[in-house]
Amino acid sequence: MIKNCTPHEVCIYSTSDCYLYNGSFRLREFPEPLGVYPPAKKPARAIYVQITKGMADGFLIYQWTPREIIGLPNPKPGTFYIVSKNVAQACPKREDLIFPGTLVRDEENHIVGCIDFSRV
């Protein structure tokens, strides 16, 4: 089972519904997605803090560190949670967190879905 924990609808398309254009996948027309996951009412969020780590040639160097994760359900056997890449990166030990992998765009270059999922 897959549950969407993002504020966006997530649509999964087949590679046969797409063509390659300037290094990214574009939809051929508007085919039916293979799967549609509605947006979460209370999406998972990662809150990061900025920590000064030094200087290089007079410029500050920061490290962004996750401070808090909000709205993320506890792991449940057999369930994967679609989250943002930032949330997944903030929880690298959670093998149940997935995010849209290879993105699919429309003619105006807007993201409309993906063809697979990725994990950290």
What confidence score (pLDDT) does residue 9 get? 97
Q: Please report which confidence band the pLDDT of residue 29 belongs to, taking 50, 70 and 90 as the band edges.
A: confident
Q: What is the pLDDT of residues 78-113, one digit of tens each?
A: 999 999 999 999 999 999 999 999 999 999 999 999
pTM, 2 dp? 0.89
Asked if residue 15 lies in contact with residue 87, where contact means CB atoms within 8 angstroms, the answer is: no
What confidence score (pLDDT) does residue 30 get? 77
Q: Give the closest residue to 107 by CA, choosing from 29, 17, 9.
A: 29
Structure tokens at 35: 């799967």
Euclidean distance between CA atoms 79 and 74, whole angstroms: 10
Euclidean distance between CA atoms 119 and 115, whole angstroms: 14
Q: What is the pLDDT of residues 34-87, one digit of tens each?
A: 999 999 999 999 999 999 999 999 999 999 999 999 999 999 999 999 999 999
Asked if residue 99 lies in contact with residue 117, where contact means CB atoms within 8 angstroms, the answer is: yes
Q: What percent of the chain has pLDDT over 90?
A: 96
Euclidean distance between CA atoms 8 and 5, whole angstroms: 9
> Domain segments of the chain: what residues?
2-118
What confidence score (pLDDT) does residue 94 get? 96
